[in-house]
Structure 1
Amino acid sequence: MLGKGERRQRALDALDELRKALRLALGAAAARRQNAQTTKDQLEFEQSVMQLGLSRARLDPHITELRGRPALARTWDKVIAERDELYRGWHPEGPGKLRALVAQAADGAAGLPWPDWLGKVGTDAGGTAPELWRVGTAVVEEAPVHDEFPVAVPLLDRAHLRVNSAQDGRSVVDSLVESLLLRVMSYFRPGLVKVHLWDIGHLTGSLPNLQPLTAGGLLTIHDPTRLDDLLADMAGHIRRVHAKAMREGETSLRSVCVAKGERVEPWRIVVLFGNGERLPDEQQRELQRVARTGIDAGVSLICVDVPLSANSPLETIVFTDPQNATTSMTGPGVRFRPDDAPDGSLASRAAATIAQDLIARRGKPRTFDDLLPPRLGTHSSRDELRAPVGFAEGVPVEVVLGDATPHALIAGPSGSGKTNFLYAMLGGLAARYAPSELELYLLDFKEGVSFAGLAPGRKDPSWLPQARLVGVNVNTDREFGLALLRFLTEELARRADAAKRQEVTKLAELREADPEGHWPRIVAVIDEFQALFGGRDRITQQATVLLEDVARRGRSQGIHLVLASQDIAGIEAFWGKPAVFEQCTLRIAMPKARRVLTETNNAAFSLPRWHAVINHDSGVHHGNQVAHIPDASAKGTFDRLQTRLWETWQSAAPKLFDGAHQPLLADASDFDEPTGPLLGQVIDVGCRAAVMDIDAVPGRNLAVIGTATADALAIMESITFSLARRHPAGSVDFSIWCAVPALRERVTRLAKILTAIGHSVDHRTDEEIADLVPASGERPRYILFFAVDSAHQWLERKQPPAMRSKLDDLRALLKNGPANHVHTFGWWRGVGRMKETLGFGGVDDIGAWVALDVQGAELNAIAAGQIIDWSPRPKRAIFFDKSIHSSPDVIIPFDTVGTE
């Protein structure tokens, strides 16, 4: 056993060993900590040097002090060695490569020295913009040789630019911005770039050498207190351009322009001069939104001393002193200097040259011919219809009808130029789309003939080849507008059925699936369309339903409505039914127009004459485009185009419905080979004749009812002439009876015409009518009885010995005659008089009737249970055939003058 002293010694030895191990461990830890701290100091020192740049770091007192420490001195030497190694590789090739890069990416005025381009007018059409724009030169501060190379920044369609000035260095920044803008303006054809200038500290005076651009509208100086308005205008412009690009099937304005090979919308450069402080929160947020979305819409920002950070490409130039700066394109180790700016007078003259060129080109009067393409009918309507209607600062402004903007609403008070606008639009469309691509249905409800010239006339035999129907003076014939809507609804159903068979949904897809089919786009123009809804009646109810249906479904089937009105404020039929107006996303407001745009959009109130607001965004303010509309209705404008189109395409003439004129019987489509007696022209899209079926069955007689003598005679004569034309001469017998002396001359003339044709005529007047019952047989006989009620004094006489009246014979004739090929066409001057003639139950023997100046309520008793909604109008009648009609057709009696 160890003694007590030995154990104590061992314990002390172990404790010494432990102390020794601890001293070694603590020493190693301290050494490692010191090494880590030294490494950290070296890295932080290297980072500081790199951030400052070697040249500035050499002069920096804090860096100089740190270089006195051995560890950091070694780091300094390492950075110098690395720099020397880097610059040995940079110097021979670097500047040359950068010069070549800038020369390639910034051609012409975008990169050349200003003496090479200043004062010259650009010619580039703006399909694409240069990738870079030169702003100055730079040198690598620590390079062995200060070999300058050009510095250029992206701008249009690619990035925004932020410039921070140094104290007392604003003039240098002004020169840089001015030179950059002059480069851009001198590169493109004048008018393709527009500059908006806002300076927080100046009402005027910013960039004074560019002031001549204001004369051509290329430079707009904004009130320093109205930045909100500028940002709102740009936001609205961005939304409008984005919507336009989407309609083109593209995602940005740049891609639209690349596809077309030219600039379709000017670039906007917004230059903001601030004071280094952040804008108020709402303005800052709006500026950020413009920065984020503007590039795709052709809007670029140049912000001077305006804090900006955007989720979009943004380059910066930061001045460290009035002459030197760093840029995000080159990094902190490169010293940038702006190019020397041209003398102020030279810059001012160059700006004036650009503005004057634009003014001179705009000064050329914009006429209707400027709306027309070089070649007629070369466009396809597969996806949409597009045509210019006017000009904004010399640039064409288009209307588009397609899936995105299916229907148009046009408003303007009398004399505002609405009709002229319609002609400009129709001319632009007709010149671009052949009749196989576009069909027009044109209806004018006001008392006028706005569209009459589009159909053949006595003075001008030409017509608009795309027009399939022209309706004028329709102000009292609301049924014609209803008929047009029915036709469009039927066409919608036809196209929908075809699309279903082809398993497609849109017109463009249907045309691709059925290339041999005839599927043009249809545009129905209804001027003063509110007349359709002028009464609280059946027409208003039906028109409302049909118009909503066409408006809702027409977009997919290529059927477009253009609804025009002097004032749409009072259309009661649409109160609470916004379906039509919501579909009319294309809005056109003439000067002083009301309610066509949104309630807060008052752009139309201040429009000068010959101008219009074109808005493809349902009338909201940001969609406004103000266009000058050239004269399209004067002699030598639309009429000359129509003649060219007529000579180019020999299409069928459009049907013409003129509510102010009676159609000629001889011109009726069924007159040459009538299938039955023609009564008048039905008010419908086909302008067809009303024809009665006269098969050998009971009831096939007709009554003409009313006191309108001229119209009644016209209908009776139309019946006679069409029946005479239906049968070969001598193959049919006519009986013409008239007991009114005042009508005898005209009726006698009718009988003589039939005799001259070769038909057998039984012509009776006065008491001779008492012997009215003709022999019946297989040979057809038609009885034309004029003013039946005037013969009652003879018809009611009873003859002995049977004491039977000729009225009984007439009733028997009406009852039994049709089955024996004997048909009676009688004219009574009132419903009550007709009932008196027919007797109890005799109404059933009149299978059809035409009513003239008779109120609808009087006709209900002879309408087979139908409720007749009819108010008499001059030169109009209603035709009801119990065998085919559920409601009467409104007809226009034919003009029979000259018919034989």
Structure 2
Amino acid sequence: MRRKVVEQRARVTNAFEALRHQIGLALGAARNARLDAEDALTKLRLEKLVLSVGLDHAEDDPKLAEHRGEPAMASVLSWLHTVRSRFYADWADGPAQLRDLVASEADGPAGRPAGEWLGTLGRIDGTEPPGLWRIGEATVDGLSVGGTRGTTHSFDVAVPLLDESHLSITSAPKTRHTVDALVENLLMRVLSTFTPGAVKVHLWDVGQLTAVLPNFYALSRTSAVTVHDPTRLVDLLDELAGHIRRIHTHTMQAGYPTLRAMRKATGKRVEPWRIAVLYGNGENLAPEHLRDLKRVASGALAAGISLVLVDVPTVLGGSVETISLLDDRRAITSMTGSGVEVWLDPPLPPGQVAGAAARIAEAVITKQGGPRSFADLLPTEFGKECSARELRAPVGFYEGEPVEVVIGDATPHALIGGPSGSGKTNFLYALLGSLAARYSPDELALYLLDFKEGVSFAGLAPGKKDESWLPHARLVGVNVNTDREFGLALLRFLSDELRRRSAAAKEYEVTNIAELRAADPDGHWPRIVAVIDEFQYLFAGRDSVTAMATALLEDLARRGRSQGIHLVLASQDIAGIDAFWGKPAVFEQCTLRIAMPKARRVLAESNQAAVSAPRWHAVVNHESGISHGNQLVHVPDASAKDTFPVLQRQLWQRYATHGGPRLFDGAVAPQLDESPAFTTLEPAKDRPRALVGQSIEVMDNAHAVELASAPGRNLAVLGSSTAEALSVLEAATRSLARQYPPGAVEFVLGCAIDTCADEVRALADDLAALGHKPVVTSASDIPTVVADQAARLSEPDGGPRFVVLYGVDAVSPALERKEPGKPSGLDHLRTLLKQGPVKGTHVLGWWRGVARLKDTLGFGGTEDIGAWVALDVQGSELAAFCAGQVVHWSPRAGRALFFDRSTHASPEVTIPFHRQEASDA
């Protein structure tokens, strides 16, 4: 038992000894670690102290005197000497390498002495700017590069800028002139490197209203240098932000991440470089300005914009190099580190800078005043472009460079606005000419409609003086301000075409016009551009025309883009279009906005760019009118005499086989003998058609009444307008005569109005010339003739007969006269109207009032008039002859209302054909 206790005590004692030993080891290790840490910390502090005074001055510096006897100091000095020796052994040729680097990356004005380039114009217009721009020179002691103490080695110092980095400059007291010289040196090197106009400089100085870099005064009169209001930093930041958004959208759509990548890939410079120099005063910017500035800086380099900030305390996003002035000659930079002092280049000679700026300004002005004629918009070869993806054509120039309008999926429809005299018509001609020259009629079809009381587009159709036409035009409508129905007809036509294309796309299982053309290469699928000038006339009334036009326009605007149907809506003033402000669907789809000088509400509400636009210019905006999409364009004179017609004749000679357009002139009455509906009439076996007037449609069609053997197939002409009544009856009779062989039809012409006798006899002569034998009766014989025609209804196979009565109401007393036991002439006329059509006898009558026709027909007789043409009659009087529906119609010169109950849901406007008066012959 005792032995066991002793053994246990021994084990416990051994365990405690082992524990004490381990603790001792741990404490010793900790003590050693602490000593090592203290030693390392001492060395770091000494190293920092030595570096602060410089290794070469460590032995003489009083701050280090108290540490010279410390072992750690000797170790630190030895280690630093070893490191420097190893580093500079590798860096012995460092200055030479830096000189070579600057020479290669800062070629020409970017790095050469000013005497070699100052005053000459830049020649570079390529895709890659110099990588570095010289600012001065640095010198290092030979010992620091492994050489001999006291010898010096110098190298050029340059900073990156365009496409590479922003630049932040911090001044020292009383060094403003040095900062100005530094900035002027950099900007002059850049401006002298590139061709005039390739770089744009923006200057903003919070402390000065004028005289920002005064040597650049000549350039400030051009677009090369813009001096911004010191109280409106927000305007400059908004402008830069707008450029960034616009350029980013353009490059991303083209498939490139940055403007630089796009330039390198395409070999074209589509945007100038921009340098914005902001002079601050060392104080923080307002929070909102600072936020906008950082936002601009983060995306600026990708858009070819570089910022140069002077005494603007902030940390920018992206790549930023710094220059901090020590005095009026020396600075330190982030490119060389804080241990190397840079001796800045001396200021350029002021007189030479001013002279160089004047030469560049003169070159910019010359370039801006370059191609401005309409001919310069045209390509060297006509019809070489393909419209499968989009339509693209220049419409003017900005600083000598062409500015394009793009119509496609991204910008499907255009809105053009400008007051009278602002150049809207001229712009339309520039647009149409540029498009027509680039795309053949197989690629582009134009439908042109002008609601003004003018003939803006009339010259695009064949005329008496010029037989040529614009081959791309399928329709030219002019003077249609009173014919809103024609605008509606165009929208219906385009809607039908949209359905046709959509059906074809569905058949080929594609989604847009480009894919449809690829799937059906033999089909005819040009892009359609419908130009409607003064389109607001479509919505001038609160009626069915406005309602239908609004619905069709919204549908076309929404769905037309995918099937290659585009709208170009132009107006002098869109502020009064009440029909759209509650339905913005159309305006939202018009992402392409063109504002002429002084135009309002075409661009976005806050975008006032058009207000200050000069004459012969336009603001082209592909971004729905938002400010950052603005592009000011000088539009050449395209509507001058012998300008557009020259192009039109060239295109006509090239594409004349495509046929002429349909010309609709609302101020000119159509000629019956020129109407295709009349000239193509041939003898018909049955169902002859009586033409009554030209229909208001895209196609050159005529309104006609089918006079089949069916009840009610009679025609009534209503109204007191003699000339138009004669026109309708003459057109109907002559068109019927052309549909029967000579002698196969009987015409009875009853004239109850003496003043129309000559016209009726002339019509009889025309019928006789066609081989027919018309019977002409006077007013006194009409009751007898009507009675005879009614009696003949009982004859079998009497053959077709047409009883044409002029001024039926004029013989109403004679028709109403009744002998005892016998039916009156009015009874015979009613019988003829009711039973005649089934027997092949039709009445074409003219009543000079609706009430007089009702008296003729009697109770329940309105169904015996299957078709009617109303002249100077109010719509409210026509309800009884139009199935009781409300008729919105007010008489207007040269127009009539036509209704055929067998084919029409509602009355339609028709244009009576022009009758050649005896005085006209």
Shared fold, TM over 0.5: yes
- 1:849 maps to 2:868: yes
Query: Given residue 687 of structure 1, which amino acid in structure 2 is its aligned partner?
Result: D
Provide the C-alpha distance between the structure 1 equivalents of 2:392 and 2:54, rounded to a whole number of angstroms. Answer: 58
Aligned residues: 890
Q: 2:800 maps to which residue? A: 780
The amino acid that maps onto 1:752 is D
- Is this contact kept in 1: 2:873–2:890, CA < 8 A? yes
Question: 2:504: which partner in 1?
Answer: 498
Q: Map 1:720-869 to 2 at 5 A.
A: 720-769=733-782, 770-772=784-786, 773-774=788-789, 777=797, 779-798=799-818, 803-869=822-888
1:409 aligns with 2:429: no
Partner of 2:6: none
Q: 1:255: how far off?
A: 4.4
* Contact kept in structure 1, 2:95 and 2:155, CA below 8 Å: yes
Alignment of structure 1 residues 631-642 onto 2, 5 Å: 631-642=637-648
For residues 287-309 of structure 1, the C-alpha deviation after alignment (integer angstroms, 9 at most, x for no partner) is 11111122223221011222232
Name the CA distance, whole Å, in 2 between partners of 1:689 and 1:228.
62
Correspondence for 2:660: 653
Q: Distance between the aligned counterparts of 2:35 and 2:113, measured in 1? A: 56
Paired AA for residue 121 in structure 2:
V
* Identity rate, percent: 57
> Quick one: which amino acid aligns to residue 86 of structure 1?
F
Q: What residue is the counterpart of 1:593 in the other structure?
A: 599
Structure 1 residues 222-274: Cα deviation after superposition (integer angstroms, max 9, x where no partner): 33333233223322333343344455555544445455533323222101222
Unpaired stretches in structure 1, ≥5 consecutive residues: 3-10
Aligned ranges for residues 339-488 of structure 1 at < 5 Å?
Answer: 339=345, 342-364=348-370, 366-488=372-494
Give me the whole-angstrom Cα distance separating, in 2, the residues matched to 1:529 and 1:59: 90
Q: Which segment drifts farther, 252-261 or 635-644?
A: 252-261
Q: What is the distance in 1 between the residues matched to 2:292 and 2:617?
A: 31
Rounded to whole Å, the distance in 2 between the matches of 1:832 and 1:630 is 60
Q: Helix, strand or coil: the match of 1:318?
A: strand
Q: Hey, what's the Cα distance between the residues in 2 that align with 1:257 and 1:224?
A: 33
Determine whether 1:143 maps to 2:145: yes
d(CA) in 1 for partners of 2:741, 2:20 = 144
Q: What is the alpha-carbon distance in structure 2 between the residues aligned to residue 805 and residue 705 of structure 1?
A: 23
Q: Is the 8 A contact 2:502 2:563 kept in 1?
A: yes
8 Å contact from structure 1 (residues 673, 725) kept in 2? no
Deviations 1:363-414 (A, max 9, x none): 3472323333333333333333333333344443433333333322233222
Write the distance in 2 (CA, Å) between the matches of 1:358 and 1:59.
60
**Partner secondary structure for residue 760 of structure 2:** helix
1:68 to partner: Cα distance: 6.1
Going from structure 1 to structure 2, the CA distance change for 1:193 and 1:405 (only over 3 Å counts) comes to same
Distance 1:544 1:733 in 2: 48
Match of 1:681 in 2: 694
CA distance in 1, matches of 2:400, 2:883: 65
Q: Distance in 2 between matches of 1:380 and 1:260?
A: 19
Quote the offset at 1:56 in angstroms: 8.4
Are 1:614 and 2:638 matched, yes or no?
no
Pick closer, same or farther for the CA change 1:140–1:71 going to 2, 3 Å.
same
The partner residue of 1:162 within 168, 186, 191 is: 168
For 1:238-257, list aligned pairs within 5 A.
238-246=244-252, 248=254, 250-257=256-263
Pick closer, same or farther for the CA change 1:702–1:212 going to 2, 3 Å: same
Would you say the 8 A contact 1:135–1:151 is kept in 2? yes
CA distance in structure 2 between the aligned counterparts of 1:603 and 1:19, rounded to whole angstroms: 89
Letter aligned with residue 780 of structure 1: P
Query: Larger deviation: 104-113 or 513-522?
Result: 104-113
Which amino acid is the alignment partner of residue 123 of structure 2? T
Q: Secondary structure at the match of 1:443?
A: strand
Deviations 1:286-344 (A, max 9, x none): 21111112222322101122223233222223345544444334444555444455433
Structure 1, residues 515-564: CA drift from partner, whole Å, max 9, x if none? 33333322222222222222221112222222222222233333222222
How far apart are 1:890 and its partner, in Å? 0.8
**Cα distance in structure 1, aligned partners of 2:538 and 2:126:** 47
For 2:316, what is the secondary structure of its paired residue? coil
1:732 CA drift (Å): 3.0
- For residues 193 and 716 of structure 2, the distance between their equivalents in structure 1, rounded to whole angstroms, comes to 81
Whether the 8 Å CA contact 2:368–2:398 is kept in 1: the answer is no
User: Quick one: structure 1 residues 464 and 99, their matched pair in 2 at CA, closer, same or farther if it must change by over 3 Å?
Assistant: farther
Compute the displacement of 1:128 (Å). Answer: 4.1
> Deviation at 1:872?
1.2
Whole-Å Cα distance in 2 between the matches of residues 371 and 418 of structure 1? Answer: 17
Q: Mean alpha-carbon deviation: is it higher for 772-781 or for 559-568?
A: 772-781
Mean Cα displacement is larger for which, 114-123 or 60-69? 60-69
SS in 2 for 1:879: strand
CA distance in 1: counterparts of 2:873 and 2:429, whole angstroms: 40
Other-structure match for 2:7: none
* RMSD over aligned Cα atoms: 3.4
In structure 2, the CA distance between the partners of 1:562 and 1:285, relative to structure 1 (3 Å rule), is: same
User: 1:479 Cα deviation (Å)?
Assistant: 0.8
The yes-or-no answer on 1:666 pairing with 2:666 is no
Task: Tell me if the contact between 1:51 and 1:332 (Cα under 8 Å) persists in the aligned partners.
Answer: no
- Residues in 2 aligned to 1:337 and 1:79: alpha-carbon distance in whole angstroms: 28
Residue 33 of structure 1: how far off its partner (Å) = 1.7
Residues 123-164 of structure 1 deviation map (CA, whole Å, 9 limit, x = unaligned): 333544344434444456621355544444332233212223
Deviations 1:188-247 (A, max 9, x none): 221121111122333344433333211323112233333233223322333343344455
Higher deviation after alignment, 442-451 or 719-728: 719-728
CA distance in structure 1 between the aligned counterparts of 2:51 and 2:378, rounded to whole angstroms: 63
Residue matched to 1:7 = none
Asked whether the 8 Å contact 1:672–1:725 carries over to 2, the reply is: no
Q: Distance in 1 between matches of 2:59 and 2:299?
A: 43
| Correspondence list, 1:21-40, <5 A | 29-40=30-41
Please state whether the residue corresponding to 2:738 is helix, strand or coil: helix
Paired with 2:249 and 2:564, the residues of 1 have a C-alpha distance of: 20
Gaps of 5+ in 2: 4-11, 682-687
- Residue in structure 1 matched with residue 900 of structure 2 by the alignment: 881
Corresponding residue for 1:71?
72
Q: Is the 8 A contact 2:178 2:329 kept in 1?
A: yes
CA drift of 1:815 comes to 3.0
Question: Aligned pair in 2 of structure 1 residues 234, 71: CA closer, same or farther (>3 Å)?
Answer: same
In the superposition, relative to structure 1, how do residues 284 and 853 fare at CA in structure 2: closer, same or farther (>3 Å)? Answer: same
8 Å Cα contact 1:866/1:886 also seen in 2: no
Relative distance call for 1:160 and 1:14 in structure 2 (3 A) is closer
Aligned equivalents of 2:852, 2:102: Cα separation in 1: 99
Q: What CA distance in whole angstroms lies between the structure 2 residues aligned with 1:888 and 1:28?
A: 110
The two structures have a TM-score, normalised by structure 1, of 0.91
Q: CA deviation at 1:797?
A: 4.3
By how many angstroms is 1:437 displaced? 2.5
Please name the residue that 1:627 is paired with. 633
Q: Distance in 2 between matches of 1:290 and 1:52?
A: 41
Residues 606 and 321 of structure 1, relative CA distance in 2, 3 Å threshold: closer
Q: Which residue of 2 is the match for residue 8 of structure 1?
A: none
| Contact 2:451 2:537 survives alignment (8 Å) | yes
Deviates more, 1:525-534 or 1:781-790: 781-790
Larger displacement relative to structure 2 (249-258 or 405-414): 249-258
Residues in 1 aligned to 2:450 and 2:715: alpha-carbon distance in whole angstroms: 34
